[in-house]
Amino acid sequence: MGNIAVAKRLDPIAFAGIRKVFEKANQLEAQGKKVIHFEIGRPDFDTPVHIKEAAKQALDKGLVHYAPNGGIPALREALAQRLKADKNLNYNPDTEIIITAGGQEALYLSFLSILDEGDEVILPDPCFGPFPLAVGLAGGVPVKIGLQPSQNYGYDWEAVKKALSPRTKAIIVNSPHNPTGGVWSEEQLKTVAAFACEHDLWLICDDAYDHLIYAGCRLSPAAFPGMRERTILCGSLSKTYAMTGWRIGYIAAIEPIIGAAIRLQQNIMLSLCTFAQHGAVAGLTGSQDCVRAMAAEFARRRQLVMEMVRQIPGIELDGMPKGAFYVFPRITLPNITSAQVADYLLDKAGVAVVDGLAFGVSGNGHFRLSYAVSYEDCREGLERIATAMKVLAQKQ
């Protein structure tokens, strides 16, 4: 069977830890148990009506065939206008923007476009799981750097400088950060921009949560002097417009990067769903009241979560989550792993959280809790966690 085997490049790729928790939670629900789903990073809101109506109209008009490889012109133009309005960034919609299958494909296309075999990429630990996987599949080497909770979950710059090598090609910024909810300050963004310029690096910005900032800096590193030509913005409409299933993301970067990404897109995806792109145009060009309303509700839930988490025995928050919809508490109980705590909370309390180890070695001893569920479920789920952790703490 030597010739009938899975490619070795897939050896490092395990099934996502989040998916495993989700499937186990679904099994419990099938048995009639109510589970609070704190494990899923998916807004619980429906996609706004005007976006769905625009997609329906596109269907009725017969816009169901192949789209241009880079995305329909109207959507690229809408994204360029939105980036200008929201971030004061200027991108040519014809040559500097590509529409992708969500933010995740944007990351993969970006790394495939810039990395040669053995090139190194500095990335945060903990981090969104596909970061190191995308780097590795592109032939690169992920170099993981621990974060500093007291510094908005920013990089440990002494560790970054020690990790720098002649093979370093890029550094990743993810603010707001998954899984911690950290949001960098303007000074921290200036520091990483200066570092990228000094060492001639690409700066990859994962902007999936850029409209969910409750405190902290909203600037893009691409706006700083000398950074537009070396910054690759990987964005998504998934979280901003509750469009996770629509799979609409984008890359905004200089023309050579977009040209490379389009060549890849031609041979991987060909093009994105045409009528979904027309729905996305409505989202970007229509009223942004829906975006503000969803962000306000997440902020309300965040306040509740922060108040309740601080009162739960056996866990602590080392840093302040200021964005996205996550908290990343550290487990303070001895002689128990974060995987065991996550299993315990699901089995005994009916609350699904994600073991922090799923996000990297530095996540060990933590768990991620997503408050992308209703306010009522946030309250009930945290009450369940408090009760379960009190019992667990008494057993120590």
Average pLDDT of span 205-211: 97
Average pLDDT of span 208-219: 94
Pairwise CA distance, residues 53 & 57, whole Å:
6
- Tell me what pLDDT residue 2 has: 63
Of the listed ranges 13-27, 191-205, 338-352, the least confidently predicted one is 13-27
Average pLDDT of span 319-337: 96
Indicate if the pLDDT at residue 16 is higher than 80.
no
Average pLDDT of span 278-301: 98
Average pLDDT of span 342-362: 95
Indicate if the pLDDT at residue 216 is higher than 90.
no
Residue 193 confidence class, pLDDT cut points 50, 70, 90:
very high
Indicate if the pLDDT at residue 241 is higher than 90.
yes
Indicate if the pLDDT at residue 88 is higher than 70.
yes
Indicate if the pLDDT at residue 4 is higher than 90.
no
- Tell me what pLDDT residue 286 has: 97
Pairwise CA distance, residues 6 & 11, whole Å:
8
Q: Which domains does the chain have, with CATH numbers?
A: 11-40+290-395 (3.90.1150.10), 49-285 (3.40.640.10)
Pairwise CA distance, residues 68 & 277, whole Å:
11
- Tell me what pLDDT residue 213 has: 97
Distances (CA, A) of 352 to 48, 122, 303, 308: 27, 31, 20, 17
Indicate if the pLDDT at residue 339 is higher than 60.
yes
Average pLDDT of span 137-146: 96
- pTM for this predicted structure: 0.94
Indicate if the pLDDT at residue 67 is higher than 90.
yes
Average pLDDT of span 276-288: 98
For 132, phi then psi, to 5°, come to -65, -30
Which own/partner contact pairs does 231-234 have at CB distance under 8 Å and 24+ positions apart?
Answer: 231/196, 231/202, 231/203, 231/205, 232/110, 232/114, 232/202, 232/203, 232/204, 232/205, 232/257, 233/83, 233/89, 233/205, 233/207, 234/103, 234/106, 234/107, 234/110, 234/204, 234/205, 234/206, 234/207, 234/208
Residue located via tokens 């569920």: 373
Tell me the per-residue pLDDT of 92-128, one tens digit each, with 9 for 90 and over. 999 999 999 999 999 999 999 999 999 999 999 999 9
Question: Per-residue DSSP letters for 276-303?
Answer: HHHHHHHHHHS-SHHHHHHHHHHHHHHH
Residue 380 confidence class, pLDDT cut points 50, 70, 90:
very high
% the chain with pLDDT above 90: 89
% the chain with pLDDT above 70: 99
- Tell me what pLDDT residue 395 has: 79
Amino acid at 268: I
